Amino acid sequence: AQSVTQLDSHVSVSEGTPVLLRCNYSSSYSPSLFWYVQHPNKGLQLLLKYTSAATLVKGINGFEAEFKKSETSFHLTKPSAHMSDAAEYFCVVANTGGFKTIFGAGTRLFVKA
Amino acid sequence: KAGVTQTPRYLIKTRGQQVTLSCSPISGHRSVSWYQQTPGQGLQFLFEYFSETQRNKGNFPGRFSGRQFSNSRSEMNVSTLELGDSALYLCASSLTDRNTGELFFGEGSRLTVL
């Protein structure tokens, strides 16, 4: 079975400060993990993906995520937040072993000026 | 390369009516999946089509249906609309199987049921 938990429904940061969005997963098999971003009234856009290569994954717009198998975590980080980062972020676990792609509940990121 | 195109972007219907939403995937993508997004329930999987065949189906009533054409374009239909069907309906395409996780989303069709 697979599941994904985003530990915070809302995160608020000031512009220029670091961003940390937390995601824990559960999977019986080696999973593929993804982060997507959704700006208001838009579709989801892929930020980055982990598919069992390097554990530190770099994505678009300065975001990165680290796969930690021992902690079953895949947290998303960015060194310095920008106003344009304000959006909803979804952690996703997928598996080609026949399990369905599972979306987390989402974390809304607010960026204060 | 054109992205995923969904039409219409916005629509308003009344209870009891039916609605058809359209999705054109990225050229060459054979899988199209549909999702319902609401503030209360988040993102929920409706169904996936691959080469004109429904592969997977989420936990939605039979009022929700879909199909895929030979050119990979897909439509979803909701009959006998209820107030709770108000949502953003997202379509995503992928090259092969949606369970690889790498999905390309359209901007959605926002349905309001009055």
The shortest C-alpha distance from B2 to chain A (Å) reads 14
Helix (H) or strand (E) holding B54: strand B53-57
Whether the CB-CB separation of A24 and A76 falls below 8 Å is answered with no
What pLDDT is recorded for position A99? Answer: 55
Cβ–Cβ of A101/B45 closer than 8 Å?
yes
Enumerate long-range contacts of B8-14, CB under 8 Å, 24 or more apart.
B8/B109, B9/B107, B9/B108, B9/B109, B9/B110, B10/B109, B10/B110, B10/B112, B11/B109, B11/B110, B11/B111, B11/B112, B12/B111, B12/B112, B12/B113, B12/B114, B13/B81, B13/B111, B13/B112, B13/B113, B13/B114, B14/B81, B14/B113, B14/B114
Tokens 């080696």 belong to residue: A30
How far, in Å, CA of A76 to CA of A57, rounded?
10
> pLDDT 10s per residue in chain B (114 long)?
679 999 999 999 999 999 999 999 999 999 999 999 998 888 898 989 998 999 888 889 999 999 999 999 999 999 999 999 999 999 999 887 666 668 899 999 999 999
Q: Which residues of A touch B102 (CB under 8 A)?
A: 34, 46, 49
Residues of chain A with pLDDT under 70: 95-99
How far, in Å, CA of B33 to CA of B74, rounded?
9
What pLDDT is recorded for position A97? Answer: 55
Identity of the residue in B42, B90, B98 whose CB atom sits nearest the CB atom of A105: B42
Q: Which residues of A touch B92 (CB under 8 A)?
A: 43-44
The shortest C-alpha distance from A9 to chain B (Å) reads 11
What pLDDT is recorded for position B57? Answer: 87
Give yes or no for A103 touching B (CB within 8 A): yes
